[in-house]
Chain A
């Protein structure tokens, strides 16, 4: 248990559905991250929030919409996804603000998403 929880753990959705992924960290960290993990590809950083402000958006399609209501919670809202969006979505947190030098990131277990 890393102190970072994600729900749901598995999600199957159609291309016209709207769903949300939730992440919660119990570590008192200031930065939170969304990553996409696909087979044989590097972890792709999607969004970074530092002290509830978005500080990074790596050219992610608008069908992915993040929300960070406070420093402990992070959401990823999904709508009109494509089959190629099927992947494991990981949430992580780190102690300082984003851009911290040498900071260890603490990961949640991920949500495995399948888009049909």
Chain B
């Protein structure tokens, strides 16, 4: 069965530190990959996505993610985090299943940035 694994449930960083959140998936076919973010008290929203082409994807607010097909990974990165990046981050994989494409989410990583 398809699955998405996010390595850390919680990450605590100081402002200006670099961020990398891990995401691995299990599926051998063509995938589309997403990172969604949920800021405190707000709805889940798209941060960035990979559909095809350049495996390094740039999203909003200085975030980027790299698709490494051989490692089944789609890690999220940001060179210098801000207090306002405190949120929960969800990796998601869209892949073909029975009946069409399905999107499966990871358990989320809660990021807390100390001012």
Contacts and interface: CB of A to CB of B under 8 A. Distances in A.
Interface of B: 4, 9, 32, 34, 36, 42-46, 49, 51, 90, 94, 96, 99-108
Given A4-B43, A42-B4, A107-B44, A101 B107 contact: no
Q: Could you tell me the dominant secondary structure of chain A's interface residues?
A: loop
Contacts of B46: 104-105
Contact of A104 (B4, B34, B102, B108): B34
28 contacts: A2-B43, A4-B43, A35-B105, A40-B107, A40-B108, A42-B4, A42-B106, A43-B108, A55-B100, A56-B99, A56-B102, A92-B44, A98-B100, A99-B99, A100-B101, A101-B32, A101-B94, A101-B96, A102-B51, A102-B94, A103-B94, A104-B34, A104-B46, A104-B49, A106-B45, A107-B44, A107-B45, A110-B43
B101 A101 contact: yes
Interface residues of A, number: 25
Contacts of B9: 40
A66 interface: no
